[in-house]
Chains A and B, each alone.
Chain A
Amino acid sequence: MIENIRLAFQGIWGHKLRSVLTMLGIIIGIAAIITIVSTIKGTNEQIKENLIGAGNNVVTVQLNQDGYPYDMSWQGIPQGVRVITEETRREIEDLRGVERASLYTHRSYAEMVYYQDTQFNGEVCGIDEHYLSVYGYQIRSGRGFTQKDYEDMRKVALVDPGAVKTLFGGEDPVGKSIELQGEVFTVVGVAALSEEFAPTIQNMNDYWLYADTSAGTVYIPGTVWPAAYQFDEPQNVAIKVTDTDAMASAGKDAAELLTASQIANTESTFDYRSQDMLEQAQQLQSMSQSTNVQLIWIASISLLVGGIGVMNIMLVSVTERTAEIGLKKAIGAKKRRIRLQFLTEAAVLTSLGGIIGVLSGVGLAQLISGMMQIPVAISAGAILIAVVFSMLIGVVFGLLPAMKAANLNPIDALRRE
């Protein structure tokens, strides 16, 4: 066997140009697959990191009806669902893994919010005094909400950088007045994610993930919410957990607690559910994966073509070496040995192509990552599979030429010069 491998290398080295051309299909196919797999893996890891790993560790619990998030803006006050009290909020904070809990009301699509003639189409949130710290917001200019703002139900507002851009056209909003549901609110400050929590938008998936806040958010004190919207609106809960692993369990615990305490009727179609970021991440990942799986199929075609190329060259090689095969058979080489020799040669050739393909794929992935800011993660498993797979291609497509060689009639083989 070692002798066969040595002979195979000798043969490949003896026909450098031909060998490289033969391997080209395999090299391209494997390189493409490694590049794609590395990019998928890198993107997935980044999505996960953005959402949970280095993210803000916040899980939200929302009111659902029949399994779908309940929309207050047009469905009105849900029957039989109580407003969450400060006492319940404290109970949530006592749950295992919970660092801080915040109650907030919110509209995903603000209506009737204006600054002068500009209509705002971002989000509006009525927040309590814990909200900004739960989400890791910091006041960039102006001030935050004070105890007095809450107690006196002052019509004040905070805006985020998105709203500064869309509503104020980039002007300094502090001190400006906005109209919200016919009420005049004064903007007192700009709240933004502190740098360490800022998500990095590097691809379409990230964009879609953060798109709902891209038009910006206007925050008003939760106590003022009824003035603009309606009384007795059950709040959502944002929970900051101590570490990422606790997100799912803390969210679930809080949802159970709220369902038990807030909803009067146990037969109700309402319940509280946590929005599991991990699940969201997985959805996003499976989305990007399914498109990339198609790419892998396309790359596999190049492997098939490469394999056929190998078969072709091996057949030529068998013809060229008829005299050698005939002599070997004449002096006692059995079919198995001849077959093995050619199979080994094909397998060594494609494995070599696979290895070169892996190297070029890794290089290409790094290049793409450098040029397009897409993260890549080289997977050792993928590399191993690629090399083993390319070896298998050699065996499969080398089979026919090897059989042909093994079945050569030594007389015919010796007669040819």
Chain B
Amino acid sequence: MAILELQNICKDYMQGKEPVRVLKNVSLSVEKGEYIAIMGPSGSGKTTLMNIIGCLDVPTSGSYVLDGADLQDLSDDALADIRNRHIGFVFQSFHLLPKMTALDNVALPLLYGGVPLKERKRRAAEALEAVGLSDRAEFYPNQLSGGQCQRVAIARAMVGKPDILLADEPTGALDTRAGSQIMEIFRGLNDSGMTILMITHEPSIAACADKTYHILDGELHTAGVPGRGGSEDEAE
């Protein structure tokens, strides 16, 4: 059963007075438990696609069904609710709140989900343990290394038990060692049934996924675009 179904998604942005089509008839179906990487050079529309899949943005046209529910014409607050329940975000620059401890950062989505305080603490501690950072629970983000920060961010994405994990360049700000550590965690999560959708421009990272899509000039291709995707990536 497809957990996520995009059909003919188009997205226009206004550039001055001219509308620019960033996504062109993108269709994508993701099964539960899949581990997918989407590759593409910068400006290819991959972040826009990510935003639409993450319910941070709405498509200009096309349909999006998430976990059996059509997401058309939902209010901002309804979308916020869907993000809270169904999607876990991992960003390139972590986006941890600097004035909160690792534990509080992890517990934040549960706060918005209306989980009681004690339950929040317990589940956040569990999530931290899962990424191997139990001993850093009371540390602030500026006391953690980049890799540790990203692991906290993954714990935060996981804590609400979402249907799908969305990662936007999760290793972009990390060194190779920390990066491969993150990939190990992703692999572990996927093995335990988590659906993962990852955006990257590094072929070595994309190789960790089970399936790779390429996006180029707003069009999504199942197989690699011969000779182009790779060379563009290296130029970046």
User: Are A and B part of the same complex?
Assistant: yes
Q: Does A335 contact B (CB under 8 A)?
A: yes
Contacts of B150 in A (CB 8 A): none
- The answer to whether B77 and A335 touch across the interface, beta carbons within 8 angstroms, is yes
Q: What mask results when residues 132 to 169 of chain B are scored 1 for a CB within 8 Å of chain A, else 0?
A: 00000000000000000000000010001000000000
Considering only residues 398-417 of chain A, those with a C-beta below 8 Å from chain B are 410-411, 414, 417
Q: Does B170 contact A (CB under 8 A)?
A: no
- The answer to whether A417 and B93 touch across the interface, beta carbons within 8 angstroms, is yes
Q: What mask results when residues 93 to 124 of chain B are scored 1 for a CB within 8 Å of chain A, else 0?
A: 10101010000000011011100000000000
Among B24-32, B78-86, B180-188, B202-210, the stretch that binds chain A is: B78-86
Known interface pairs A410-B56, A411-B51, A414-B91. Does A334 touch B81 (Cβ–Cβ under 8 Å)?
A: yes
Q: Does A329 contact B (CB under 8 A)?
A: yes
Complex partner residue of A411 from B56, B81, B95, B97, CB under 8 angstroms = B56
Complex partner residue of B77 from A336, A410, A417, CB under 8 angstroms = A336
- The answer to whether A333 and B97 touch across the interface, beta carbons within 8 angstroms, is no
Complex partner residue of B109 from A3, A324, A331, A417, CB under 8 angstroms = A331
- The answer to whether B97 and A332 touch across the interface, beta carbons within 8 angstroms, is no
Considering only residues 67-109 of chain A, those with a C-beta below 8 Å from chain B are none
Bound CA span A324–B97, Å = 7
Complex partner residue of B97 from A14, A327, A414, CB under 8 angstroms = A327
Q: What mask results when residues 8 to 34 of chain B are scored 1 for a CB within 8 Å of chain A, else 0?
A: 000000000000000000000000000
Contacts of A329 in B (CB 8 A): 80
Considering only residues 316-347 of chain A, those with a C-beta below 8 Å from chain B are 323-324, 326-337
- The answer to whether A333 and B57 touch across the interface, beta carbons within 8 angstroms, is no
Bound CA span A99–B156, Å = 85
Q: Does A10 contact B (CB under 8 A)?
A: yes
DSSP class of A's interface residues: helix, strand, loop or mixed?
Answer: helix
- The answer to whether A330 and B89 touch across the interface, beta carbons within 8 angstroms, is yes
- The answer to whether B76 and A330 touch across the interface, beta carbons within 8 angstroms, is no
Complex partner residue of A331 from B76, B93, B99, B112, CB under 8 angstroms = B112
Known interface pairs A411-B51, A417-B93. Does A332 touch B99 (Cβ–Cβ under 8 Å)?
A: no
Q: Does B54 contact A (CB under 8 A)?
A: yes
Bound CA span A333–B109, Å = 8
For A324, the closest partner residue in chain B by CB is B97
Bound CA span A416–B205, Å = 25
Contacts of B57 in A (CB 8 A): 411
Contacts of B84 in A (CB 8 A): 331-332
Instruction: Give how many A-B residue pairs fall within 8 Å (CB-CB).
Output: 52
Bound CA span A72–B80, Å = 88
The count of residues in chain A whose C-beta lies closer than 8 Å to any C-beta of chain B is 21
Contacts of B112 in A (CB 8 A): 328, 331-334, 337
Nearest CB on A from B154, distance (A): 13
Nearest CB on A from B186, distance (A): 19
Known interface pairs A411-B56, A411-B57. Does A332 touch B113 (Cβ–Cβ under 8 Å)?
A: yes
Contacts of A332 in B (CB 8 A): 80-81, 83-85, 109, 112-113, 160
Known interface pairs A328-B108, A411-B56, A414-B91. Does A334 touch B97 (Cβ–Cβ under 8 Å)?
A: no
- The answer to whether A333 and B99 touch across the interface, beta carbons within 8 angstroms, is no
Bound CA span A323–B141, Å = 15
Contacts of A337 in B (CB 8 A): 112
- The answer to whether A333 and B80 touch across the interface, beta carbons within 8 angstroms, is yes
Contacts of B54 in A (CB 8 A): 330
Bound CA span A341–B13, Å = 31
Contacts of A14 in B (CB 8 A): 99
Considering only residues 94-140 of chain A, those with a C-beta below 8 Å from chain B are none
Max count, chain A CB within 10 A of own CB: residue among B56, B57, B91, B97: B56
For A7, the closest partner residue in chain B by CB is B99
Contacts of B91 in A (CB 8 A): 414
Bound CA span A336–B76, Å = 11
Known interface pairs A411-B51, A417-B93. Does A334 touch B80 (Cβ–Cβ under 8 Å)?
A: yes
Contacts of B85 in A (CB 8 A): 332
For B52, the closest partner residue in chain A by CB is A411
Contacts of A327 in B (CB 8 A): 95, 97
Bound CA span A329–B89, Å = 11
For B81, the closest partner residue in chain A by CB is A332
Contacts of B76 in A (CB 8 A): 334-335
For A329, the closest partner residue in chain B by CB is B80
Nearest CB on B from A325, distance (A): 11
Known interface pairs A331-B83, A332-B85, A334-B81. Does A10 touch B109 (Cβ–Cβ under 8 Å)?
A: no
- The answer to whether A10 and B97 touch across the interface, beta carbons within 8 angstroms, is no
Nearest CB on A from B163, distance (A): 14
Known interface pairs A331-B156, A332-B83, A335-B77. Does A323 touch B109 (Cβ–Cβ under 8 Å)?
A: no
Contacts of B113 in A (CB 8 A): 332
Nearest CB on A from B213, distance (A): 21
Bound CA span A328–B111, Å = 11
- The answer to whether B95 and A414 touch across the interface, beta carbons within 8 angstroms, is yes
For B51, the closest partner residue in chain A by CB is A411
- The answer to whether B83 and A330 touch across the interface, beta carbons within 8 angstroms, is yes
Bound CA span A410–B108, Å = 16
Known pairs A331-B89, A414-B91; list 19 more (Cβ under 8 Å).
A10-B99, A14-B99, A323-B95, A327-B97, A328-B108, A328-B112, A330-B56, A330-B83, A331-B84, A331-B108, A331-B156, A332-B81, A333-B112, A334-B112, A335-B76, A337-B112, A411-B56, A414-B56, A417-B93
Closest 5 A-B residue pairs measured CB to CB?
A: A332-B84, A332-B112, A327-B95, A331-B109, A334-B77
Give 25 pairs: A residue, B residue, CB < 8 Å, sorted on A: A3-B111, A10-B99, A14-B99, A326-B95, A327-B97, A328-B112, A330-B83, A330-B89, A330-B95, A331-B83, A332-B81, A332-B84, A332-B85, A332-B112, A332-B160, A333-B80, A334-B77, A334-B81, A335-B77, A336-B77, A337-B112, A410-B56, A411-B51, A414-B56, A417-B93
